[in-house]
Structure formats: structure tokens, C-alpha cells
Amino acid sequence: MTVVTEPEMVDPSWLLARVADRDGELADAVADLVHSGELPPGSRLPTVRTLAKAGDLSVGAILHAWGKLQEQGIVQTRRRGGTVVLPPEDSVPERGLREWRGVDLAQNAPDLALQPPLSDALVASLGAETLNVFGREIMTERLRTAAAPTWPFEPEAWATAGGGTEALLIAIEAAAPAGSTIAVDEPLGPGVLDTIRDLGLNAIGIRADTHGPRADDLDAALHAGATAFVFQPGAPFGVDHVVTDERIAELAEVLRRHLAVWIIEDDSIGPLEPERLPSLGDVFPDRVVRIRSYCKAYGIDVRTSILGGSRRLIDAAMKMRSHGVGSNSRILQNTLAYLIESPDAERIVARARERYAARRALLLDALRERGIEACAGPRSLVVWVTVEDETAGLVALARQGISVGSGSRSFVGARDRQMLRISATQLPDDVESIRRLADLVAVAMTESTREFFD
């Protein structure tokens, strides 16, 4: 299986030996290495802790140096991709480059300008009579009342957790003890598969066709011992599919033959979904837990996701959360309830939904016009670009200061084609800007397939 993703990290011992030969601050020494070409564009610097452990430098000194280099435009620090050396501004065409430096097209972060303000929602939540009453509420009555009308089936129990990822992981832990096997609907969001492995679980990928995850793949995974199925009804990372009612019926038929299997439905973009999603909860109310995240629609600081479904699985998941003593603030729960019921918030989210879809379509068209193979599911928030070599494509784009995602990190095993993942949420609405991005991607794809010999 191909698991290479980001550019290889610069060896910390090599870097320490080079900076030791230069006088002055660490930032200046690293800048000299960049300007001399010893650290070429796309090089990924050691993490702060790795470098501190390899030498006599303090964590504070390294943080200061990396920050100074970023201010000078020499490096860029990304959330998961590390600190990467950027190309000098005069080394590539100016057209289209500067506007993409520092824009994260890998993590699928929402556009903050397309989220409703939180001030009114927070103020309204402060009037709750139960505020600061000793004890805890796994879910406030106000939030349950707001969420219930849009839930796709009648749940046996309700609960809340932090963000959607936290809810997903505690549900998986409850459904599958360490060392067991689970079936996962591919492709997954970035980082989710890594975390599943960190939990000590074996994952079997369920491939999708244009109608959703394949029933024959699921049947094979369950016969191989999978004890849970992680299912994405909205296909938010779909390469080219949506989940149809017909496919739901086929999956249900398979699951009827495997009565001990838990089903975890991951609704990771919540209100941003354009229409009501299908669910297996009507068929298996005692085996399904649905998780709905609201961070992409309303903002990460709402920090409240909802779990609804099987009482037994939800009770077990709540025991996994902070050893059974964790709960969400009533203020945050009622803030979320206000937003769910707010007509103003609904209009803002509807606009965001339309903008994201339009941006995805613009980028797809621009890439295809340039002969690049690109695709996206009808509800996907990402665009997938087919490349000859994933690592070479990542490095070529990093040289231009463009951060995109690694396709292999969203799939369990090797695929018949390698892909890069570009988030549609961080794209602008300006057509010309997206065309300039497509130009830069086309250049990078050409560079990544060329070989040079002395």
C-alpha cells in the first residue's frame, strides 16, 4: 500500500550541523541555507520537538526562529503538513501565486465569512433556568427539541459531544474494542483513518460506485470479521458518488445477515447538506448511531455535535468520553439550539451551501479545460485531481506555496489511480482567481511528471 503523503522531513542532525557553521540567530542561519539552495523550496523542516531533542536548542528558540522565517515569507507552517520552505517570490510567475500563498486547500476548513455570527445565539443561551445548576445534562431539552424534527429516524437515546470527530471516535471505540476490525466507507476525511489506526483498530475499506458504498464489499468485510460499519450517507468526500435509496436497501439486506454489527452514520457537515440524507436507522434503530457535526456550518467554537440512535451504543460511547464524566456546556448546547432554529442562520448556511457548490463546479471546469482529470461527488466539498505520482504532485505544488491534500490518506489501501484532494470551501468566488489556480496546478502536474538527468 502506498502511504507516502507529505515531503520527507529534513534530517535534524544535518540541519543542526549546517546551522552550527554559521554565526547569528537560528532564523538567519536557516534563511542562509534557503538562499544558498541547500534547503530548496518544498523542504519540510523538522518539527520543533524533533529538532530540540536532536540538539541543544530550546523549544522557545526554535518557535521564535520558525515564526521569524514565516514573517519573512521564507517558510509556511501548515496545520498537518509541517513547516515547509516556500519558493522565492521572484522564482515563479507572479500571476496567480501570491493570492494562494498561505491558503490551506488541504484541511477542508470552512470559509469564516460564510458562517452565521454567534453573538445573538450566545446571549440568548444565557437565559436558561438550568444555567450553573449543579449537575450535568448530556443533552439539554432545548437542543433535543431543536434537533429532533430534522433527525432521519426516531432515536432510542440522545447525547452530545465536542466536535464531530470526537463524537465519531468515541462511538467507534464503543463499537469496536482495540484489536478488532471495522469497515469504513471510503474516502474518509483527512486524519480520520490515521486516528482509527491509533485506536488499535484494523480498517477494511468499502469502495463506492456511483450509487454509494458497494454492498458486496461490505458483505466481504463483515465476513472477514468487521464488528462495525462507519457509513457516510452524505458522501462529503465522494469522488463521484451520492448514496441512493436503492443502495441503502442493498446495504440493509447485507446487514440483516450480520446481526452483531454496529452501524455508525457520520453526518460530518450537518446543515450544509443540500437535502435530507438517507439512513439505516429506520431499519436498525437499536444498532445505528447517527452523528451530526455543526462546526462547518456554524463555526468550530460551537463545539457541540449530536449523537442520536441506539441507547446501548450511546451509553457505551458516553462512558468512553473522559471516563464517563465529560459533558458539554449548557451554554454551548443552547447556543447550537438557537442556531438550528434561527431563520437568519438558516439563510446564511443556505448561501454557504450554494457558494461551496459553485466553487467546486468552477474549479472542476477550470481543471478540465486544461486537460486535467478532476472529479467530485455531487455533494462533495472537495475536488479530486488524478496525478501520475502523488508525492511529486504535492512537492511541485508546495514549491509554489500551494497546500493541497494527499489522496492516499483518505483510503485504506492502494488504489488504481493516485489523487490529490483540493478543498472547495477555501476557494474564492472570483472566476479568474480559480482559473489562475488551475493554471498553477497544470504547471505543477507537468513538472511532477518530468525527469531530469545530469
Q: What is the pLDDT of residues 271-288, one digit of tens each?
A: 999 888 999 999 999 999
Q: Dihedral sign, CA of 10, 16, 20, 24?
A: positive
- Do the Cβ atoms of 267 and 273 come closer than 8 Å? yes
- Do the Cβ atoms of 54 and 20 come closer than 8 Å? no
The per-residue pLDDT for 442 is: 86
Alpha helices in 224-303 (DSSP H): 245-256, 295-298
Alpha helices in 328-426 (DSSP H): 330-341, 343-369, 390-399
Mean pLDDT, the chain, whole residue set:
87
Q: What is the pLDDT of residues 334-371, one digit of tens each?
A: 999 999 999 999 999 999 999 999 999 999 999 999 89
The per-residue pLDDT for 453 is: 43
Burial class of residue 110 in the structure, from the number of CB atoms within 10 Å of its CB (0-12 exposed, 13-18 middle, 19+ buried): buried
For residue 7, is pLDDT > 90?
Answer: no
Q: What is the pLDDT of residues 376-435, one digit of tens each?
A: 999 999 999 999 888 888 888 887 778 899 999 899 988 888 999 999 999 988 898 898
The per-residue pLDDT for 436 is: 87
Q: What is the pLDDT of residues 130-167, one digit of tens each?
A: 777 777 778 999 999 999 999 999 999 999 999 899 99
The per-residue pLDDT for 274 is: 87
For residue 193, is pLDDT > 80?
Answer: yes
For residue 91, is pLDDT > 60?
Answer: no
The per-residue pLDDT for 157 is: 97
The per-residue pLDDT for 4 is: 35
The per-residue pLDDT for 41 is: 78
The per-residue pLDDT for 103 is: 78
* pLDDT tier at 23, thresholds 50, 70, 90: low
Burial class of residue 113 in the structure, from the number of CB atoms within 10 Å of its CB (0-12 exposed, 13-18 middle, 19+ buried): exposed
- Do the Cβ atoms of 202 and 424 come closer than 8 Å? no
